[in-house]
Amino acid sequence: MPVYQVLVYPIANNDLNSESYLKYAAAKPLSKPMMEWFYKNYLASSEQSGDPRISLVKANLAGMPKTLIIGAEIDPLQSEGKLLRDKLKDAKVETDYQLYEGVTHEFFGMAAIVPEAKEAQALAVRKLKSAFGM
């Protein structure tokens, strides 16, 4: 089992009609139609999307490692990150969640030009260092 996990705008549910999927359906760089395409082309059948290995919020999450979830406001996956946070906490997993306002999916890798990305990366580093006793 990993010591700690950092999940950056995770795919954690198969509900493509959640609040953020509806609100940010046409968001860039990730939109609802793109996610539909990914599901269609990644899975052998649409039924597989409900598998707990794909839809993590349906899994038994007890015993998972401490977790940091980083979310982007303008992202169809925003609701999934919040739901996963709730499900991990329900399973008694120590979980931190940080939503970055005003940024889109993929912001995390843009620290050179997006201040929120620099903040998110620094948070991830602090949490990982702490988890490893550094």
pLDDT, tens only, 60-80: 999 999 999 999 999 999 999
pLDDT at 46: 79
**Closest listed residue to residue 11, CA positions, set 53, 45, 48, 44:** 53
Mean pLDDT of the chain: 95
Q: Check residue 43 and give its pLDDT.
A: 86
pTM across the whole model: 0.92
> What pLDDT sits at residue 126?
97
Identify the pLDDT of residue 32.
96
Residues 58 and 80: their CA atoms lie apart, in Å, by 12
Ordered by where they begin, the domains of the chain are: 4-131 (3.40.50.1820)
C-alpha span between 97 and 1 (Å, rounded): 21
Instruction: State yes or no: pLDDT of 47 exceeds 90.
Output: no
Helix count and strand count (H, E) for the chain: 4, 3
